[in-house]
Amino acid sequence: MPDTPDPGSVADVKESLGEVGYLADEPAALVAYLAQRLGKPVLVEGPAGVGKTELAKAISRATGRDLIRLQCYEGLDEAKALYEWNYRKQLLRIQTESGADPAAEAAEWDSVHGDIFSEEFLLTRPLLQAIASTDPVVLLIDEIDKTDQEFEAMLLEVLSDFQISIPELGVIEARTHPIVVLTSNNSRELTEALKRRCLYLWLDYPEVEREMEIVRLHTPEIDEQLARRLVEVVHMVRQLDLKKPPSIAESIDWARALLLLGADDIDGALFARTMSIIVKHRTDMDLVAERVGMKLGGVQGLGAEAAG
Amino acid sequence: MSPLPPGLAPRLVSFCEELRGEGVAIGTSEILDAFEALDSVPWTREEDFRETLAATVAKSQEDRRVFELLFDRYFFRAAESEALDRGIGEDHRYDGGDGLDLNELREAVRQAIADGRDGEMRDLARLAIAAFGRQGEGSGVIGVDVQRIRRTLGLQSQRRGKDGDVELEREQINKFERHLRRELERDLIERTEKLPPSRPLAELDRALPTSPAQDLAAVHRAVAQLKKRIATLGHEQRGRRRGAVVDMRRTMRASLDTGGVPLKLKYRPKHPRRPEIYVLCDVSTSVTSASVFFLSVLHALHDSFRKLRSFVFIERISEVTDVFERERDFRSISERISREGGVADVSGYTDYGRVWLEFLEEIVEDLGPRSTVIVLGDARTNGREPHAEVFAQITERAGRTFWLNPEPRLYWNYGDSVMAAYERHCTAAFECWTTRHLENFVNVVAGGTPLVPQG
């Protein structure tokens, strides 16, 4: 296998991630560095919306590699993840042959047989694409916890040996070493075997300071005071027991919205009007309006307004 | 990068050994990974060293927590024992404590904690111990000393000071406390010239934060996790083809795509078993801490199982299914239950015998082989008649009966606990005081295999 490119040091990785718009904290930068250095897959876990998928995208941008994404879902199988033979095309090929002189058919069978199991009739799926690619890539296996355990077992060959065996074609080995990022929302326990092969990173919601940096990086025009206020409110909302706490992306969306509205402070009324950007459940909205809206100086009886 | 120093390898291996002892599954390959990874980071920075090690050996949040606890303890002990061996000590470490004004010290500590300056906190912790030791009040028990110093310094979280005092985060105060503890330990080690015996992490350190009300949020996080898992349980089996039945009609339909040749088999979807569940939850004072937890579990279950009826009991039993169905917010649920439940009669002590009688009378018609009865309680009868034979009747009628006991198995059948009498009739009885226990149980109910072997 070819050498993995030298990522420099942890600080370099952190900086290059920062340049492409991803502010990684120390552990994230370290794991990204180790992943490139050791060529091991990374398993990223954490609540929804903390930037797990974004991390993989940022690594791909920072290293200049293509991103190949395999979105996992319930019932995902090898045919959708690895490769599939193109039945229709194969049938078509056979039918065109049999249209010809029947005497020649027997002789031609051999050539047809060899022919229909060639790469021309192979539909490559993300995993095979990542392995067979001539340029180094970043392979993102998103929401691995949505699949079943058998699929995980199938991944083991790909992740530890970086090869895929296709019975008709033989073993396809990786020409370059992909950086593999697996994400999980932790909705089920992954198998020990898979975890053992990965580096582990737990991403959590960022601290106020870091989230502020993130928000300001994506909406540079926003006023520092407003950004701080916004992030503090978002943190307050996350403290509550919600069905879906606001993600980082939603803080950014909210910041953009406030910018468009030309707001310079977040008061109760403004919050009530715009909170649908960060809170997206009927019951959550009631709760947030009651707890956070009040704190924001709901002199005008904000709770009643939001409930009505 | 700098190669690892020669003494480190055995230390790391023994550290991993200790992690294994605490139930973190670490394979040899992971230890090898750790070494390889440490080769490529500057191991001399504690943060990097710790993160690298954690990324390679601790593969879940739970493992990570154990890792953090052990990491601190292990390397602290390692450093101290090395210091003892070489006879390095700091004789005059607490000099300068004499001339200190307690008020000044208090201010300085508060400031350092508010700013979160680590080194300063450590120095101040030493000073505080010195100032404290001067008054000759050291009790010799570290935990007691820490609490006493903390009280003397007036450290409380989230209290808005009257005259512009800085507001302190609980997290930050805990940090300061850790420094205090560590310094006191070091002091003790130097005085006695030996390491205190290493104890396994108390299981309770890792247990569910069930007790006080402020930890409710933590319970909820655990339960939210559980809720997601329950929701996906059974789906795994549904997604699989093995053992499924071929759906002829859909297969033939799909074969039209491929010229009438049935290349793709279509399967009948498998429906996971959705049991009818009856949950009986003890809410008496002997299980107060656990019942907060259990009620929130009930709350979570209500979202996931459609046929679920809930009951709470102390001396009498009362059905609360509609409370759970109408109220979304957990807090109002627990308020309404304590207000309207009407389950305490006179004494407020649990009367299991009477509860069984009432339950049987009320529900006997509905119980059938498809029903699952789950009892959440400690089986402490307070000396009253347990009526195990009535419980046996219930279990006979129901398909399955499970008992979740918030006490560790060790305490069962001691004192007034009559667990054995009931356990005989249950399909299975589980101790349930960590999330892992709970998950294990949910897995069994939903028809999966247990995560940890019983016994």
Please write the tens of the pLDDT for every residue from A43-58. 999 888 888 999 999 9
Is B217 in Cβ contact with A201 (below 8 Å)?
no
How far, in Å, CA of B55 to CA of B53, rounded? 6
Point out the domain boundary residue: A66, A98, A121: A121
DSSP assignments along A194-236, one per residue: HHHTSEEEE--PPPHHHHHHHHHHH-TTS-HHHHHHHHHHHHH
Quick check: A87 and B240 CB within 8 A? no
CA dist., res. B25 & res. B10, Å (int)? 19
Out of A208-217, B38-47, B202-211, B221-230, give the one with best mean pLDDT: A208-217
Question: Chain B within 8 Å of A218 (Cβ-Cβ)?
Answer: no
How many distinct structural domains can be found in chain A? 3
Q: Residue A56's pLDDT is what?
A: 93
Give the closest-approach CA distance of B193 to chain A in angstroms.
37
Contact A26 B29 (CB under 8 A): no
**A168 or A306, greater pLDDT:** A168
Is the pLDDT higher at B236 or at A255?
A: A255
- Please indicate if any CB of chain B lies within 8 Å of the CB of A27: yes
The residue with greater pLDDT, B333 or A280, is A280
Asked if the structure places residue A241 within a domain, the reply is yes
> Does A89 lie in the same domain as A51?
no
Compute the mean pLDDT over every residue in chain B, rounded to the nearest whole number: 73
Task: Give B22→chain A minimum CA distance, Å.
Answer: 17
Neighbouring residues of B344: CB distance < 8 A, sequence distance ≥ 6: B284, B314, B315, B316
Sequence-ordered alpha helix ranges (H) in chain A = 10-19, 26-38, 52-63, 78-81, 87-98, 102-116, 126-132, 149-161, 192-196, 208-218, 224-239, 248-261, 268-274, 282-288, 294-295, 302-307
**Who among B27, B52, B235 is closest to A30 (CB)?**
B52
CA distance B8 to B402: 49
For residue B35, the chain A residues in CB contact (below 8 A) are: none
Q: Which stretch of DSSP H or E encloses residue A43?
A: strand A42-45
d(CA B290, CA B112): 37
Closest listed residue to residue A242, CA positions, set A290, A279, A206: A279
pLDDT of residue B311 exceeding 50, the answer is yes
pLDDT at A183 over 90: yes
Same domain for A97 and A140, yes or no, is: no
Lowest mean pLDDT among B83-87, B210-214, B308-312: B210-214
Alpha-carbon gap, residue B311 to B322, rounded angstroms: 10
A196/B330 touch (CB, cutoff 8 Å), yes or no:
no
| Higher pLDDT pick, A86 / B184 | A86
pLDDT for res B280: 86
Q: Report the share of chain B in percent with pLDDT over 70.
A: 63
Residues B95, B104: Cα–Cα separation, whole Å:
17
Average pLDDT rounded to a whole number, residues B356-361: 87
Query: Taking CB atoms and an 8 Å limit, are A10 and B48 in contact across chains?
Result: yes
Q: Which residue has the tokens 């005497």?
A: A103
Interface check for A189 against chain B (CB to CB < 8 A): the answer is yes
Task: For residue A40, list chain B residues with Cβ-Cβ distance below 8 A.
Answer: 33
Q: Rounded CA gap, B363 and A47, in Å? A: 41
Asked whether residue A219 falls in the same domain as residue A256, the answer is yes
Final residue belonging to a domain, choices A121, A149, A184: A121
Of the candidates A31, A91, A192, the beta carbon closest to that of B258 is on A91
CA gap B311, B374 in Å, rounded: 10
pLDDT tier, B210 (very low <50, low <70, confident <90, very high otherwise): very low
> Does one domain contain both A236 and A293?
yes
Dump pLDDT digits (tens) for B374-433: 888 888 887 888 888 888 888 888 888 888 888 888 888 888 888 888 888 888 888 877
Amino acid B217: pLDDT: 55
Q: Does residue A283 have a pLDDT over 70?
A: yes
Distance, in Å, from the CA atom of B373 to the CA atom of B280, rounded to the nearest integer, reads: 8
Which of A31, A87, A150 lies at the smallest CB-CB distance from B258? A87
Q: Do B240 and A241 touch (CB under 8 A)?
A: no
Q: How confident is the model at residue B453 (pLDDT cuts 50, 70, 90)?
A: very low
Contact at CB, B229 and A187, closer than 8 angstroms: yes
For chain B, say whether A40 makes contact (Cβ under 8 Å).
yes
In this prediction, residues A132-140 reach a mean pLDDT of 91
CATH of the domain at A198: 3.40.50.300
3-state secondary structure of B306: coil
Give contacts of B240 with chain A, Cβ < 8 Å. 148, 150
Structure confidence at residue B360 as a pLDDT band (50, 70, 90): confident
Does the structure show a pLDDT above 60 at B158? no
Are A74 and B239 in contact (CB < 8 Å)? yes
Lowest mean pLDDT among A191-200, B76-85, B138-147: B138-147
Q: Chain A, 246-285: which have a CB under 8 Å from a chain B CB?
A: 283
Domain assignment of residue A100, given as a range: 83-121
Instruction: Tell me which CATH code domain B276-445 carries.
Output: 3.40.50.410
Structure tokens at B355: 């509860």
Rounded to a whole number, what is the distance in Å from the CA of A33 to chain B's nearest CA? 9
Please report residues of B whose CB lies closer than 8 A to that of A43. 59
Residue A96 within any structural domain of the chain: yes
Residue of A nearest to B34 (CA): A199
Q: Do B41 and A33 touch (CB under 8 A)?
A: yes
Asked if residue A110 and residue A223 are part of one domain, the reply reads no
CA-based max dimension of chain B: 97
Residues A214 and A295 in one domain: yes
- 3-state secondary structure at position B252: helix
Q: How many Å from the N-terminal Cα to the C-terminal Cα in chain A?
A: 64
* Within-domain flag for A3: no
Residue A62 contacts B where some CB pair is shorter than 8 Å: no
**Does B205 score more than 60 pLDDT?**
no
B48 contacts in chain A (CB < 8 Å) = 10, 26, 30
Give a three-class secondary structure readout of B24-74. CCCCHHHHHHHHHHHHCCCCCCHHHHHHHHHHHHCCCHHHHHHHHHHHHHH
The whole-number pLDDT of residue A58 equals 93
Q: State whether A199 and B61 contact (CB < 8 Å).
A: no
Same domain, A68 and A162: yes
Smallest Cα–Cα separation from B296: which of B437, B164, B148, B438?
B438
- pLDDT given for residue B286 in this prediction: 65
Straight-line distance from the first to the last Cα atom of chain B, in angstroms, rounded to the nearest whole number: 48
Last residue of a domain, one of A153, A173, A202: A202
Cβ-defined contact of A200 to B60 (cutoff 8 Å) = yes
**pLDDT at A67 (0 to 100):** 94
Q: Do residue B37 and residue A33 have CB atoms under 8 angstroms apart?
A: no
**Which of A90, A185, A187, A235 has the highest number of chain B CBs within 10 A, making it the mutation to test binding with B?**
A187
Residue B92 has pLDDT above 60, yes or no: no
Q: How many CB pairs lie under 8 A apart between chains A and B? A: 93
Q: Which of B50, B56, B160, B219 to mutate to test the interface with A (most CBs of A within 10 A)?
A: B56
For residues A170 and A155, membership in a common domain is answered with yes
pLDDT at B99: 57
Q: Does residue A56 sit in the same domain as residue A177?
A: yes
Best probe of the B interface among A116, A202, A239, A290, by most B CBs < 10 A, is: A202
**Interface contact flag, B40 A27, Cβ < 8 Å:** no
Q: Return the residue of B nearest to A76 by Cα.
A: B239
Asked if B134 contacts B149 with a C-beta cutoff of 8 angstroms, the reply is: no
Give the number of other CB atoms < 10 A from CB of residue A307. Answer: 12
Would you say A171 and A212 are in contact if contact means Cβ atoms under 8 Å apart?
A: no
Domain spans in chain B, listed from the N-terminal domain onward:
8-86, 102-192, 245-271, 276-445
- For residue B452, the model assigns a pLDDT of 46
Query: Are A248 and A302 in the same domain?
Result: yes
**Is A185 within the bounds of a domain?**
yes
Confidence of residue B447 (pLDDT cuts 50, 70, 90): low
- Token pair, residue A126, equals 């993300």
Label the pairing between strands A122-124 and A83-85. Answer: antiparallel
Residue B96 pLDDT exceeds 80: no
Q: How many CA atoms lie within 13 A of A133 on its CB side?
A: 19
Q: Does a structural domain hold residue A2?
A: no
Q: Are residues A228 and A282 in the same domain?
A: yes
Residues 100-129 of A with CB under 8 A from B: none
